Structure formats: structure tokens, C-alpha cells
Amino acid sequence: MRQILLMGVVSLVLLTSCATSHNRTREISEGYRIYDITGTADHSRIVSKLKEAVQTHTDKAVFQNKIPPHPLPKQAGRFQLTSPFAKSGLGALVAAQGGARIPKCDNAIFTAYANDRFEGSERTTFFVCLLPYEAGYHLDVYYTFTKSSGGFGARALGQALARSVLGDSSQFIPRTLAALETAAQEAGGGVKLLESYPQ
């Protein structure tokens, strides 16, 4: 019994030393998908389905409903990433902390900002926008995944052990993307993936 206890303590010390030997790191990954939706003019049904998907698969969401542009453009717009601090004295400091690129969609009739937090060490954000044009809509989805690791203490050890067994929470991103695609399909239109990163 004493040997088993001793082996357990030694294993815990080794695991702790491995977890605390790494410097504290923060990693941010980005991705996006752009869909074309045709065959339906009922934007309220599409928006309703998208809201439902976002609310079901994220912890917190903010929705904005806007009026469509007039006249409708012949080609759909596309989301853009902006850096609000790029031209200020804070730009270098913000970049050193992982940057602050904010997505936006000009002429979108619906946008959603949503996020999930997992134990304070991981965060997933989603930005969704619906852009009307003459032949239908574009659905743009931009997402980020932030993971912190390393450092000292029992919490860092617990996070490292959990990731080694369960993986990190980025595994839930495909589920949310699939739900958004299904929501667009359930609104009655034809849905085609035009662009994605990573592929």
C-alpha cells in the first residue's frame, strides 16, 4: 500500500513538473465560411433559423437586425476584418497581446456575435452575418478559438490533463458550423459553400 501511495505521489510530481515547465502561452486560431443561399426571398425565416442555431450552440449572443440596402447590390458583399487600434499608439501593445481584429459586414440585414468560454482557459467566438443581393443571400461565418496553456499550479495541471483525455473545446466548432448550415437549408433555400478556411 505504501509503495502504491509513493508511486502515486511521484507520478503527480512528475506530471506537475511537466505542466509547469512550459511557459504560459496563448494561441489564437481563425477560420471562416461563406455560403450562397438562393431560391428563397423569406429573409425573416432564414434569420429566425440562424438565431435558433446560435442560441442553441453558444453561451452568449448579441443579435442585430437591420434594414436591407436599396437598391440590392448585384454581387453580395463579404465580411471584412478591421483593426481599430492599428493607427494609434496602442497598436503595437494590442498586437503583442494577440491582436484585436473585429469582423464587420457592410449592408448586412442580420448579424450575430456569440462566444463560448470553457474554464477560463479557452474561448470560442462566432460572427455571423446575412448579406442580401439580387439573386439571394450570402451567409458569412467568421470564428476564432483562443487557448491558454502552461503556467504553474494545480489549475494548469488540471487543464493539461483534461486536454490530454478529452481534447480542447475547438472540437465543438464544426458542430456549430453544421448547425448554421442546416438552419439556412431549413429556411427553404439552396445552400452552397463558396469559401472556407481552413478547408
Domain edges within the chain: 27-151+163-197
Question: Is the pLDDT assigned to residue 74 strictly greater than 90?
Answer: yes
CA distance 86 to 100: 9
Neighbouring C-beta atoms of residue 184, cutoff 10 Å: 22
Task: Encode pLDDT of 90-145 as tens digits.
Answer: 555 445 555 568 999 999 999 999 988 766 678 899 999 999 999 999 999 999 99
CATH class of 27-151+163-197: alpha beta
Q: Show Cβ contacts of residue 3 under 8 Å, excluding neighbours closer than 6 positions.
A: none
How many angstroms separate the first and last alpha carbons of the chain? 53
Residue 79 near residue 32, CB atoms below 8 Å: yes
In our burial notation (b when 16+ CB lie closer than 10 A, e otherwise), range 54-92 reads beebbeeeeeeeeebeeeeeeebbebeeeeeeeeeeeee
pLDDT in tens, 130-174: 999 999 999 999 999 988 776 554 444 444 444 443 446 678 899
Residue 170 C-alpha from the chain's centroid: 9
H runs (alpha helix) in the chain: 2-20, 43-57, 91-96, 154-166, 173-186
